[in-house]
């Protein structure tokens, strides 16, 4: 998987931007529970009063507070008794609480000095208890005050700091009301301000989330493009040995479905890998560092339960994930084989049999998919059950704490939000665990293709062809065996094909004719001996240079979707129309091309499905002729032509190739009667070489092949020409 992720280098800028935005979003999301807590605790319960130290207080109330403390000087040093002419800072506070029209009288109001946060915190510690004691005692009948003072002090000291502060804030509200302050306005202003701040933070989170999804989709799409490009380029470089090892169906699945799995994973991977840990760890830290962390153990219970469920399901489903992609390969392979062979299937009335074969592959994939989906579909309900159970547990425990006065309602609500954020982070990780196994399998399959070194590749230093031996093809004691095969397919092949002459290869089915010519353009490499072209071993020249001088016509005519023109001009799209038409004339293709409505612009379907076998073969031959190479290789390329067309084509071809090397693999004796040299193969060995006349006299294998196709009289007549 890490090898695949290395391809993200091209989008490194976007990846960095995603990480930064995820950090911003996580910070915003972690800030929201604090705002909820503040709105409930300070905005609603405390009436918008955020400090247990009053910013402004009457002299009368201050004197009452000082009765319950011995720290008179420490308190009074932080306040200023306002005269009839307050300074700018004092006037600002008075206007805030009492309005601009308030008439200040000498020595009636104390205003809090401008304090640092630490100084204000120390003052809160000093003033909280006296304020509470003053409030409690002032509400009692006069005869009970002295008796209850000691008991009230003990009760206050037993409270938690947060509860003390909350209670003191209520007392400060009464102090403000005694001065005539509009406490409802303070509350409304606080809630509105906090609400707008909360909306701003939520907006930042939303913008970050949208930007992250946009960038993640772009990064994932770019990675998919890079991987498809790499896989395709590697497949193009494969020799026939690698193409046989990786089936066509498997390579298509790896280039499409497997890369799609990786792409889907990457689209959400960063959100999980970066965002989920920040939220999980950040939320846990927030809980532990909060004023009341007595319920932190609940989060531990939730995490353990989630990890247990995810690990169990992961262990059950992982083996099936590995099997899933192989079954997709199998289904594609069966589908491709059936669709390609539909004419044969219909001809033999085997539709039912092939339907059953497809149904078997389809059922295997379906059963595995059902098992995996059932296992994974259990995950979300189980995790949601845990999440809701944890929420009930928090409300239960938190409710008792609130009732006992050791926790505020807002703190409990914030704890619920943090817990949900932590649980959701693990939910996200668990969801990625559903995609990760299948993506990991896909990544392994993609890497198998990308990391596979072609068995045929150019040397670091390549040679150039010898101009003095142009067109010369030499097989020197050549032998060949397929990879992992036990026996040689070809053994001790020795012959030379010269320019200006036609060399034919004939033999029974399976004798190795096509294998011999497949060695010339290095579709396979010889495993013994030496194959030289233009005086140089083909292994010492670059594949591009080698194939540039060869016009190869395969046994099965292959055309590409496009037009007749694009297929003939396949070797050079800038080729002149005259050269194209001449090639078509030699290949005897003009007869049917001219009958088309759009002539050379007539469309060709994928694989040449809209032309006959003979037309396809002639266009394939025209494509090779238009290339005008040094060496022509025809691998049984005249088999679909009628005798008349075959004869005309060979006659026209002989003029075009009079100074070229021509190598023909043929089944028909009539195709090679006039060849300058005929190679006879049997079971991968040369059993004869010579002209038609020589072989008829001296080679029994050739003679039997010839007599199986033509009568002795016909062979004698043609042999005498």
Q: For residue 649, with 0-12 CB atoms within 10 Å meaning exposed, 13-18 middle and 19 or more buried, which class applies?
A: buried
pLDDT of residue 721: 39
**C-alpha of 285 from chain center:** 33
Residue 204: predicted pLDDT: 93
For 406-439, the pLDDT digits (tens) are: 677 777 787 888 888 777 777 777 777 667 777 7
Distance CA 79, CA 114 (A): 9
Q: Is residue 401 over pLDDT 80?
A: no
Structure tokens at 554: 């395969």
**pLDDT tens, position by position, 150-164:** 555 666 566 556 666
Of 3, 518, 521, give the one whose Cα is nearest residue 231. Answer: 3
Residue 502 CB partners (closer than 8 Å, separation 6+)? 654, 657, 662, 663, 664, 672, 674, 675, 676, 677
Decide: 690 and 518 in contact? Cβ < 8 Å: no
Q: Report the CATH fold assignment for 467-691.
A: Rossmann fold (3.40.50)
Element at 25 (helix H, strand E): helix 12-38
| pLDDT at site 142 | 53
Q: How far apart are the C-alpha atoms of 697 and 692, rounded to whole Å?
A: 9
- Split at pLDDT 50, 70, 90, the class of 207 is very high
pLDDT tier, 206 (very low <50, low <70, confident <90, very high otherwise): very high
- Per-residue 3-state assignment (H helix, E strand, C coil) for 125-173: HHHHHHHHHHHHHHCCCHHHHHHHHHHHHHHHHHCCHHHHHHHHHHHHH
CA distances to 404, 663, 672, 674 from 651, in Å: 109, 15, 12, 10
Question: What distance in Å separates the CA atoms of residue 8 and residue 185, rounded to the nearest whole number?
Answer: 55
Please report where in the chains the tokens 């109001």 appear, as a residue: 109
| Residue in the structure block whose two tokens are 């939730």 | 302
Q: What's the average model confidence in pLDDT over 232-260? A: 82
How deeply is 302 buried, as exposed, middle or buried, from its count of CB atoms within 10 A (0-12, 13-18, 19+)?
Answer: buried
CA–CA dist 207, 633 (Å, integer): 63
Give pLDDT, residue 161. 61
Q: What is the sign of the dihedral through the CA atoms of 182, 188, 194 and 196?
A: negative
In this predicted model, what pLDDT tens digit does every residue of 180-199 receive, in sequence order? 888 888 888 888 988 899 89
* Mean pLDDT of all residues belonging to the chain: 82
Q: What is the arithmetic mean of pLDDT over 286-290?
A: 73
pLDDT of residue 157: 61
Q: How far apart are CA 32 and CA 420, in angstroms?
A: 12
Backbone angles phi, psi at 62, to 5 degrees: -65, -40
Between CA 683 and CA 71 the distance in angstroms is 113
* Per-residue tokens: 212: 């992250």
Which two structure tokens, joined as six digits, stand for 580?
Answer: 């194209």
Cα gap 52→557, rounded to integer Å: 91
How far apart are the C-alpha atoms of 359 and 362, rounded to whole Å?
A: 5
State pLDDT tens for residues 676-704: 899 999 888 888 898 888 888 888 888 88
> Cα 172 from chain centroid?
59
DSSP code, position 256: I
End-to-end C-alpha distance for the chain, whole angstroms: 69
Q: Which of 590, 310, 540 is nearest to 425 (CA)?
A: 310
Ordered by start, the domain boundaries in the chain are 81-114, 467-691
**HSE of 95 in the Cβ direction (CA atoms, 13 Å)?**
8
- pLDDT above 70: residue 225: yes
Q: Distance (Å, rounded) from C-alpha 699 to C-alpha 690? A: 9
562: exposed, middle or buried (Cβ count in 10 Å: 0-12, 13-18, 19+): middle
Predicted pLDDT at 173: 81
> What letter would DSSP give residue 467?
G
State CA 222 to chain mean position distance. Answer: 9
Three-state secondary structure of 570-606: CCCCCCCHHHHHHHHHHCCCHHHHCCCCCHHHCEECH
Q: What is the DSSP string of 415-427?
A: HHHHHHHHHHHHH
- What would the DSSP string read from start to end of 367-410? HHHHHHHHHHHTHHHHHHHHHHHHHHHHHHHHHHHHHHTSS-HH
- What pLDDT score was predicted for residue 571? 87
pLDDT tens figures, 62-93 = 888 888 888 888 888 888 888 777 788 888 88
Helix, strand or coil for residue 104? coil
pLDDT tier at 654, thresholds 50, 70, 90:
confident
Higher-confidence residue: 46 or 512? 512
Q: What is the pLDDT of residue 163?
A: 63
HSE-CB for 352 with a 13 A CA cutoff: 1
- Write down the pLDDT at residue 475: 92
Nearest Cα neighbor of 419 from 299, 281, 294, 290 is 299
Q: Are 11 and 264 contacting, i.e. CB atoms less than 8 angstroms apart?
A: no
């Amino acid at each position: 998987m890490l090898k695949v992720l290395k391809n993200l280098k091209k989008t490194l800028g976007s990846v960095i931007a995603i990480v930064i935005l995820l950090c911003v979003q996580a910070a915003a999301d972690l800030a929201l529970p604090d705002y909820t807590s503040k709105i409930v605790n300070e905005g609603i319960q405390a009436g918008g009063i955020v400090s247990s130290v009053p910013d402004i207080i009457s002299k009368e109330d201050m004197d009452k507070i000082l009765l319950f403390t011995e720290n008179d000087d420490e308190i009074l040093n932080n306040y200023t008794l306002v005269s009839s002419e307050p300074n700018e800072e004092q006037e600002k506070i008075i206007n805030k609480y009492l309005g601009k029209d308030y008439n200040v009288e000498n020595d009636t109001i104390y205003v809090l000095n401008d304090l640092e946060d630490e100084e204000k915190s120390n003052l809160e510690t000093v003033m909280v208890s006296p304020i509470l004691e003053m409030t409690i005692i002032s509400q009692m009948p006069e005869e009970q005050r002295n008796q209850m003072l000691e008991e009230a002090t003990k009760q206050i000291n037993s409270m938690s700091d947060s509860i003390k502060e909350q209670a003191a804030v209520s007392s400060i509200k009464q102090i403000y009301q005694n001065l005539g302050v509009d406490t409802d306005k303070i509350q409304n202003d606080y809630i509105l301000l906090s609400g707008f701040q909360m909306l701003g933070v939520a907006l930042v989170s939303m913008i970050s989330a949208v930007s992250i999804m946009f960038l993640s989709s772009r990064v994932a799409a770019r990675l998919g493009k890079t991987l498809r490009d790499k896989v395709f380029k590697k497949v193009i470089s494969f020799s026939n040995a690698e193409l046989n090892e990786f089936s066509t169906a498997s390579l298509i699945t790896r280039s499409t479905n497997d890369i799609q799995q990786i792409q889907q994973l990457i689209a959400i991977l960063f959100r999980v890998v970066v965002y989920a840990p920040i939220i999980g760890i950040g939320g846990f830290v927030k809980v532990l560092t909060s004023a009341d962390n007595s319920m932190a153990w609940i989060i531990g219970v939730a995490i353990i339960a989630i990890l247990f469920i995810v690990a169990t399901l992961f262990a059950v489903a992982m083996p099936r994930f590995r099997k899933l992609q192989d079954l997709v390969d199998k289904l594609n392979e069966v589908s491709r084989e059936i669709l390609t062979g539909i004419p044969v299937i219909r001809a033999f009335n085997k539709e039912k049999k092939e339907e059953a074969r497809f149904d078997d592959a389809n059922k295997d994939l379906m059963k595995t998919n059902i098992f995996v989906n059932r296992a994974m579909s259990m995950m979300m309900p189980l995790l949601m059950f845990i999440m809701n159970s944890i929420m009930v547990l928090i409300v239960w425990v938190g409710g008792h704490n609130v009732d006992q006065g050791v926790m505020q309602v807002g703190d409990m609500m914030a704890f619920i939000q943090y817990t949900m954020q932590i649980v959701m982070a693990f939910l996200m990780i668990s969801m990625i665990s559903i995609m990760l196994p299948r993506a990991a399998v896909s990544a392994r399959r993609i890497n198998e293709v990308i990391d596979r070194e072609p068995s045929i590749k150019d040397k670091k230093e390549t040679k150039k062809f010898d101009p003095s031996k142009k067109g010369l093809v030499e097989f020197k004691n050549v032998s060949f065996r397929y990879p992992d095969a036990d026996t040689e397919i070809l053994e001790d092949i020795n012959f030379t094909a010269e320019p200006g002459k036609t060399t034919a290869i004939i033999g029974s089915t399976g004798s190795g004719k096509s294998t011999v010519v497949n060695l010339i353009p290095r579709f396979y490499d010889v495993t013994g001996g030496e194959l030289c072209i233009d005086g140089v071993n083909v292994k010492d020249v670059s594949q591009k240079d080698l194939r540039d001088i060869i016009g190869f016509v395969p046994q099965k005519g292959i055309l590409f979707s496009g037009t007749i023109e694009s297929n003939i001009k396949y070797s050079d799209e800038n080729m002149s129309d005259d050269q194209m038409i001449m090639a078509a004339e030699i290949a005897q293709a003009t007869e049917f091309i001219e009958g088309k409505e759009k002539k050379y612009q007539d469309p060709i379907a994928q694989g040449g499905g809209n032309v006959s076998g003979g037309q396809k073969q002639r266009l394939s031959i025209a494509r090779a002729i238009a290339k005008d190479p040094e060496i022509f290789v025809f691998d049984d390329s005249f088999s679909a032509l009628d005798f008349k067309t075959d004869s005309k084509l060979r006659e026209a071809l002989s003029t075009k190739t009079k100074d070229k090397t021509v190598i023909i693999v043929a089944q028909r004796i009539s195709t090679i009667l006039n060849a300058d040299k005929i190679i006879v193969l049997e079971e991968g060995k040369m059993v004869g070489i010579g002209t038609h006349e020589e072989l008829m006299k001296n080679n029994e294998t050739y003679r039997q092949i010839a007599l199986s196709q033509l009568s002795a009289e016909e062979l004698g007549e043609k042999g005498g020409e």
